[in-house]
Amino acid sequence: MSTKNILIVDDIHPIFIEQAEALGYHCDYQPTIKPEQAFEILNKYKGLVIRSKFLVDRKVIDMVKNLRFICRAGAGMDNIDEDYAKEKGIILINAPEGNMDAVGEHAVGLLLNLMNNISRADTEIRTGIWKREGNRGYELKGKTVGIIGYGFMGHSFAQKLSGFGVNIIAYDKYKTGFSDRYVREVSMEEIVKHSDIVSFHIPLTPETSGLVDDEYLFHFKKPIFLLNTSRGKVVQTKAVLNGIKQGKILGVGLDVLEVEKFPALGEQGWFEELSKSDKVILTPHVAGWTFDSYRKISEVMAEKLSRLKI
């Protein structure tokens, strides 16, 4: 067994393979392999490259004795048992730097669309409806944007918004002293008191799962526009729909949902109401998945791989 074998079990940009092999690694590229097939052969490899379809839990980690590192082609690490992997000496690499610009731009796009009823107006015109007053929008200038989570994604969103003349505040439970030219660090109490717009940029953990529920939304002092480009399970969809009905939410942009992909998505009790609401914009978990980020994610992973002493 080579000490520099890497199994790649999902689609990635070929630049990663090119750069990894220049570092002396051998890459076994099997993007269509099924999880059970991969786990049968994983002991032959020192490295594993995954995206989102593979769950690396305790059971899998206990099965592999030779694995030294796992590369996650993206930002979120919720499909890896991080603590247990580190306990077993497995090095974890992800690449939030590779898709942070994509996420930031997508979030801005969702927000401008929501505040100006662009998708709704387009649909109406295509069906013979010309409604100016019904599509009167809001300007971003002068609004307060509350960012929950100020890592790479939150910072990118703030940077993209900085030219709009907005007041940007941010809360991060796990960081302090991060105020910069784009945001002012605040408490969650200030977020709920002052925000006109709230955008979530936090990882999915047991603590953040279901964070946005009826009680959470109840505390906001003003009607808000809500964005989620992080993980679907952070936001309870039914609570969002309740917020819309109660006038607490003016519009919502969701790139991620509690349940994703069909047919499972269509079977959810809340899906029909969500899909019919003209105050909702949905995208299929593509905020961080541009043609540009596809390459940049692989470049970031390869650069981080070059620093490992394997």
83-107, pLDDT tens digit by residue? 999 999 999 999 999 999 999 999 9
Domains 5-94 and 100-282 share a fold: yes
Let me know the angle formed at the C-alpha of 151 by 145 and 153, rounded to the nearest 5 degrees: 65
Beta-strand runs (E) in 111-162:
144-148
Residue of 285, 295, 299, 303 marked catalytic: 285
Domain range list for the chain = 5-94, 100-282
Q: What is the pLDDT of residue 2?
A: 53
Residue 3 tokens read as 């000490």
DSSP-derived letter for residue 43 is G
The per-residue pLDDT for range 25-75, each reduced to its tens digit, is 999 999 999 999 998 999 999 999 999 889 999 999 999 889 999 999 999
Instruction: Yes or no: say if 40 and 17 are a contact pair by the CB < 8 Å rule.
Output: no
Residue of 18, 40, 189, 260 marked catalytic: 260
Residues 6+ apart with CB under 8 A from 36: none
Among residues 310, 289, 229, 309, the alpha carbon closest in space to that of 12 is found at: 289
Q: What is the pLDDT of residue 280?
A: 98
The per-residue pLDDT for range 102-151, each reduced to its tens digit, is 999 999 999 999 999 999 999 999 999 999 999 999 999 999 999 999 99
Coil vs helix vs strand at 290: coil
Instruction: Yes or no: say if 92 and 77 are a contact pair by the CB < 8 Å rule.
Output: yes
DSSP-derived letter for residue 235 is B
Catalytic status, residue 155: no
Would you tell me which CATH number, out of the four given (3.40.50.10490, 3.40.50.720, 2.60.120.260, 3.30.160.100), belongs to the domain 5-94? 3.40.50.720
Catalytic status, residue 51: no
Catalytic status, residue 184: no
Share of the chain above pLDDT 90, in %: 95
Q: What is the pLDDT of residue 52?
A: 87
Residue 255 tokens read as 């790139």
pLDDT of 202 higher than 80: yes
Distance CA 231, CA 208 (A): 10
Residue of 72, 106, 120, 231 marked catalytic: 231
Mean pLDDT of the chain: 96
Classify residue 217 as exposed, middle or buried by CB count within 10 Å of its CB (0-12, 13-18, 19+).
buried
pLDDT of 222 higher than 50: yes
- 100-282 under CATH 3.40.50.720, yes or no: yes
The per-residue pLDDT for range 176-195, each reduced to its tens digit, is 999 999 999 999 999 999 99
Instruction: Yes or no: say if 217 and 245 are a contact pair by the CB < 8 Å rule.
Output: no
Residue 124 tokens read as 């109406």
DSSP-derived letter for residue 163 is G
